[in-house]
């Protein structure tokens, strides 16, 4: 597995790390990526992965992969496996440093007893509704629980009985004794442990009480000797509790540093909402190529290097912002332009018969597999009397700037001959154009242009009917029809799903040379965009191609209606 060591862009976190190393506060850098295994990772997590692993690699430290598995009701082994696959796919290796909060359940429980013994935590019997009422609001102070004055001895006895399973779920909790009047609601005697009978993916039924995330997070950081605990901005108000717990327990105290999370247009980043889209079958699964999940982007053909470039390009700051989807797609185009072999594909075929070309004859044209990389070699493209072109490359009444095919017009077949449209055949019932009858200029093969012949402006792609490989092509676009679906307050976000985000073309064709294409392999279909072999539905005898991105951003700037090179 590779270890990307490109220096993360200069930012305030790098400044802190370099000051800590220079002062001798730390001799090495230890970061962690701590996902909760209750869903699949999305592009927002990629920013955190690249930041944590990137900094550790750059400063020759280490980054831990730690699963914060403190809520067995929502956690599944499927999610753990998917998270590991995504981090590996992005190019990062945690080596021997894979951990779980559940590894520390005994130690965390010991910390809980310590807090009780020190008079800094107590068992509370308030119901969840009563606790919410006692908590107060941002403008009014909270009210102390009647159980707050319980002695350490009584609370310790109750805590041990909670662990032993004597009490019903939800009947009691362990709370920190801090300050019910604090302006920070997170310090108003937060819950540290709750009773929850649920089978844990790793510990089974060994525990019936589980630590809250805020309690397990900081103490796990401490146990692993994390030097810089990087969190997104929503955890800024939780930092005082993080600090209070480390100080109260008198344990090693990592430094929590917050940075702005990634928000991307035309999608949602809430795992709850993404789970709803999956469960309600608005998408085909977590790896649906329309989803902002890393597994979805992998299936769509986004290179991991492009995602790393994107995360580096957007930078790390302290203020939330929204990044346009086009920035990510530009990174994908840049990488695929360098790496994807070229091929021709016809998505909406229109048959063309070249009437003056000999029947039964076949010839081959040679084209580069990649115009900028001679090492990729060449490919051969068969040509015959009957070919397919894309329907979009013909118009019966073309406007002035339409440089493709029309009645009486000439166009060059890419790598092939110049042809002229002589006759248009239509369905007698529907009136739909079903075939073109054309003639070719035999002197123009392979791009040749005889002296004195007028240059032809239009160039279109094509395929020989007898040799074309039938495939299915899926055209993917933005998941939502508005840039900020979460910001539309008067409508359910599901109403804003883009009905045109997926178009399946079951009657498409590609060059015959693609017959052996591998699962996940990417190509540029010339003039059309970048496509990859679907990793789930594609079969050796029936390839399925997913469009990764168009050749240029067509969402906000419609592509020209004239000829495309």
For residue 416, give the DSSP letter: S
In this predicted structure, what is the pLDDT of residue 4? 54
d(CA 349, CA 390): 5
- Measuring CA to CA, how many Å separate 540 from each of 144, 153, 507, 547? 67, 69, 17, 19
Catalytic residue of the set 261, 342, 351, 437: 261
Catalytic residue of the set 36, 334, 363, 472: 36
d(CA 422, CA 246): 83
Domain count for the chain, please give it: 1
In this predicted structure, what is the pLDDT of residue 446? 85
Q: Residue 271 catalytic?
A: yes
Residue 67 domain-assigned?
Answer: yes
Block residue for tokens 């791009």? 447
C-beta separation of 277 from 267 below 8 A: no
pLDDT tens, 233-278? 999 999 999 999 999 999 999 999 999 999 999 999 999 999 999 9
Residue 503 domain-assigned?
Answer: no
In this predicted structure, what is the pLDDT of residue 65? 98
Handedness of CA 248, 253, 258, 262 (dihedral sign): negative
Q: Residue 11, SS3? A: coil
3-state helix, strand, coil in the chain (%, to 5): 30, 25, 45
pLDDT tens, 397-445? 999 889 999 999 999 999 999 999 999 999 999 999 999 999 999 999 9
d(CA 274, CA 254): 32
C-beta separation of 95 from 2 below 8 A: no
Residue 564 domain-assigned?
Answer: no
Residue 351 domain-assigned?
Answer: no
Length of the chain counted residue by residue: 565
CA 484 to chain centre: 17
| CATH code where residue 221 lies | 3.40.50.620
Residue 539 domain-assigned?
Answer: no
d(CA 73, CA 313): 37
Q: Residue 78 catalytic?
A: no
Residue 177 domain-assigned?
Answer: yes
- Of 476, 496, 479, give the one whose Cα is nearest residue 488: 496
- Of 338, 320, 446, 247, give the one whose Cα is nearest residue 44: 320
pLDDT tens, 103-118? 999 999 999 999 999 9
Which residues fall within 8 angstroms of residue 287, CB to CB, at 6 or more apart?
A: 40, 293, 295, 296, 298, 299, 536
What sections of 167-260 are H helices per DSSP? Answer: 213-223, 239-249
d(CA 333, CA 311): 15
Which residues fall within 8 angstroms of residue 404, CB to CB, at 6 or more apart?
A: 392, 393, 394, 395, 398, 411, 458, 460, 563
d(CA 76, CA 556): 40
Q: Residue 261 catalytic?
A: yes
What predicted TM-score, i.e. pTM, was given to this entire model? 0.91
- Measuring CA to CA, how many Å separate 526 from each of 260, 340, 395? 39, 11, 20
In this predicted structure, what is the pLDDT of residue 486? 87
In this predicted structure, what is the pLDDT of residue 155? 98
pLDDT tens, 435-455? 999 999 999 998 888 888 888
In this predicted structure, what is the pLDDT of residue 554? 61
Residue 470 domain-assigned?
Answer: no
Catalytic residue of the set 62, 150, 177, 271: 271
In this predicted structure, what is the pLDDT of residue 441? 95
Q: Show the CA angle centred on residue 532, arms to residues 530 and 534, nearest 5°.
A: 150
Range(s) of the domain holding residue 107: 12-259
Lowest mean pLDDT among 32-41, 55-64, 241-250, 447-456: 447-456
Residue 321 domain-assigned?
Answer: no
CA 170 to chain centre: 36
- Measuring CA to CA, how many Å separate 47 from each of 4, 77, 264, 271, 294? 14, 23, 12, 16, 11
In this predicted structure, what is the pLDDT of residue 7? 54
- Of 505, 499, 506, 545, give the one whose Cα is nearest residue 522: 545
């Amino acid at each position: 597995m590779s270890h990307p060591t490109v220096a993360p862009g200069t930012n305030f976190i790098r400044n802190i790390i370099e000051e800590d190393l220079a002062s001798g506060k730390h001799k090495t850098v230890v970061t962690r990526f701590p996902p909760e295994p209750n869903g699949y990772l999305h592009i927002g997590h990629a920013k955190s992965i690249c930041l944590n692993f990137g900094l550790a690699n750059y400063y020759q430290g280490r980054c831990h992969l730690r699963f914060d598995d403190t809520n067995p009701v929502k956690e599944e082994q499927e999610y753990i496996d998917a998270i590991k696959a995504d981090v590996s796919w992005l190019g990062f290796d945690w080596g021997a440093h894979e951990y779980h909060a559940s590894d520390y359940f005994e130690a965390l429980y010991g910390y809980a007893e310590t807090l009780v013994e020190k008079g800094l935590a107590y068992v509370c019997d308030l119901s969840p509704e009563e606790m919410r009422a006692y908590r107060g609001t941002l403008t009014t102070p909270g009210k102390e629980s009647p159980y707050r004055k319980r002695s350490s001895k009584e609370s310790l006895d109750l805590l041990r009985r909670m662990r032993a399973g004597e009490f019903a779920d939800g009947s009691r909790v362990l709370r920190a004794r801090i300050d019910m009047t604090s302006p920070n609601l997170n310090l108003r005697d937060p819950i540290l442990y709750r009773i929850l009978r649920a089978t844990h993916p790793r510990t089974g039924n060994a525990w019936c009480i589980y630590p809250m995330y805020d309690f397990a997070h900081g103490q796990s950081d401490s146990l692993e000797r994390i030097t810089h605990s990087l969190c997104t901005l929503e955890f800024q108000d939780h930092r005082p509790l993080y600090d209070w717990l480390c100080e109260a327990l008198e344990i090693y105290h990592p430094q929590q540093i917050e940075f702005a999370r990634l928000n991307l247009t035309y999608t949602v980043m809430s795992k709850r909402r993404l789970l709803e889209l999956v469960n309600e079958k608005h998408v085909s699964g977590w790896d649906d190529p329309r989803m902002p999940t890393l597994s979805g982007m992998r299936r769509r053909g986004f290179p991991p290097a492009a995602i790393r470039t994107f995360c580096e390009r957007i930078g790390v700051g302290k203020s939330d912002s929204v990044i346009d989807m086009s920035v990510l797609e530009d990174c994908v185009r840049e990488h695929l332009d360098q790496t994807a072999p070229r091929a021709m594909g016809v998505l909406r075929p229109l048959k063309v018969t070249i009437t003056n070309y000999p029947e039964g004859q076949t010839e081959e044209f040679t084209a580069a597999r990649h115009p900028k990389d001679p090492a990729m070699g060449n490919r051969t493209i068969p040509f015959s009397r009957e070919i397919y072109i894309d329907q979009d490359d013909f118009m019966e009444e073309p406007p002035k700037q339409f440089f493709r095919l029309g009645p009486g017009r000439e166009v060059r077949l890419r790598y092939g001959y110049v042809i002229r449209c002589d006759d248009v055949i239509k369905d007698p019932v529907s009136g739909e154009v079903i075939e073109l009858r054309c003639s070719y200029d035999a002197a123009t093969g392979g791009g040749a242009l005889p002296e004195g012949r007028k240059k032809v402006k239009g160039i279109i792609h094509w395929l020989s009917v007898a040799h074309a490989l039938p495939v299915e092509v899926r055209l993917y676009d933005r998941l939502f029809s508005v840039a900020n679906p979460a910001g539309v307050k008067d409508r359910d976000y599901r109403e804003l799903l883009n009905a045109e985000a997926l178009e399946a073309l079951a009657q498409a064709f590609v060059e015959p040379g693609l017959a052996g294409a591998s699962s996940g392999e990417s190509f540029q279909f010339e003039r059309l965009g970048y496509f990859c072999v679907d990793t789930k539905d594609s079969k050796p005898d029936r390839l399925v191609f997913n469009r990764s991105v168009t050749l240029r951003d067509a969402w906000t700037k419609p592509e020209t209606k004239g000829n495309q090179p």
